[in-house]
Amino acid sequence: MKKLIIIIILITAAGSLHVLAQRSVHEFSAYGGGGLSTLNYQLSSGGKNVGMGGDFGLGYTWCQSRERVTATGAIFRENWGIYTGVGLGMYNAKAKLDAQETLTKNLTDNEGDQFEMLTSFEKYTEKQSAMFLNIPVMGQFQIRQYYVMGGVKLAIPVNPKYSSKNATLNNKAHYILYDNWAETPEFQGYGPFKRKNFDGSLDLGTTLMLALEGGMKWRLTGDLSLFTGVYFDYGLGNSFKGGNKSFIKYDSDKPADFKANSVLYVYTEKVNIMAAGIKLRLSFEM
């Protein structure tokens, strides 16, 4: 008898919550966001400052939406779906090196003599910036106004670069065969140099990011809605494809016009991309 009563209660409770409407929804959206958006790395000497950036793009969501009514007459809305699209993320960072010396080996001057270059500096700063084409594949779940999303993003680098402005450094050449040090002349690239500017490309590769987002959805009109939320992206793999390069790039044909590689090639082997911030997404349902 008790079992029969329990079954009747469960059936009655189930009947008190029934589906009013259920439909598939195609949702097209445009979004923009910003906040912390940086290249994350650790230098073997010196430190870094994180950078700010943004994330902009277009999205598409297929979702299964339904409305249910409870025994009290309250309407309970929920949906789940799959979100994808394409976006452009901008990431920045700044490296600061301590006073130190770095050695560039296996160089040859314009007379054919081999030497190595000892470069010293008091302070050296470098900015790195990169754009990534982000392609998300994320699950989305919404209850009433509240939504959460989770998944991954494929991040493809677009024009990553570095630059250093007004650098002050000093070069000395050690001619190993003669066991002799040369600190001049300047036209050979030796001696003190001030207000030097360096720039170039960074060797970053495609990587996969963990992507999380959550917030609220506001209905503006019948088919138009605004999502307001926060997001967090973190690179799961090492996007840096360089490493183990010398600091100085020396050209024996133009010795005074020497270049500098990014400090990332010299002082780190791993770079992750990371972003966290606020996002707005305007969507249109069909």
Q: How many Cα atoms occupy the beta-carbon half-sphere of 23 within 13 Å?
A: 8
What pLDDT does 7 receive? 41
In terms of pLDDT, which residue wins out, 219 or 29?
29
Buried b or exposed e, range 100-120, using 16+ CB within 10 angstroms: eebebeebebeeeeebbbbbe
pLDDT over threshold 80, residue 14: no
**What are the backbone dihedrals phi and psi of residue 84, each rounded to the nearest 5 degrees, phi first?**
-145, -175
Tell me, what's the pLDDT at 56?
96
Q: Which residue has the higher pLDDT, 106 or 19?
A: 106
Instruction: Name residue 157's beta-bridge partners.
Output: 132
Predicted pLDDT of residue 4: 40
> For residue range 45-95, what is the model confidence (pLDDT) as tens digits?
888 999 999 999 999 999 887 765 555 554 556 789 999 999 999 999 999
* Percentage, residues of the chain above pLDDT 70: 88
Of the candidates 249, 238, 242, which has an alpha carbon nearest to the alpha carbon of residue 265? 242
How many whole angstroms separate alpha carbon 61 and alpha carbon 59?
7
Q: How far apart are CA 211 and CA 217, in angstroms?
A: 19
Confidence at 8, pLDDT banded by 50, 70, 90: very low
Domain boundaries, the chain: 22-279
Instruction: Please write the tens of the pLDDT for every residue from 237-264.
Output: 899 987 778 888 888 888 888 899 999 9
Angle among Cα 152, 154, 159 to the nearest 5 degrees reads 145
Q: What digits encode the pLDDT tens for the residues 146-203? A: 999 999 999 999 999 999 999 999 999 999 888 899 988 888 889 999 989 999 999 9
Reduced 3-state DSSP string for 187-204: HHCCEEEEEEEEEEECCE
Strand partners for 87 = 57, 134
Q: pLDDT, tens digit, for every residue of 208-236?
A: 999 999 999 998 988 899 999 999 999 99
Residues 6+ apart with CB under 8 A from 144: 76, 77, 78
In 3D, which of 284, 128, 136, 280 has the Cα closest to residue 212?
136
Q: Are 191 and 183 in contact (CB under 8 A)?
A: yes
Candidates 184, 238, 179, 178; CA nearest to 207 is 238
pLDDT of 95: 95
Report pLDDT for 21.
Answer: 58
Residue 16, pLDDT > 80, answer: no
Per-residue pLDDT at 68? 58
Q: What's the whole-number mean pLDDT along residues 98-122?
A: 89
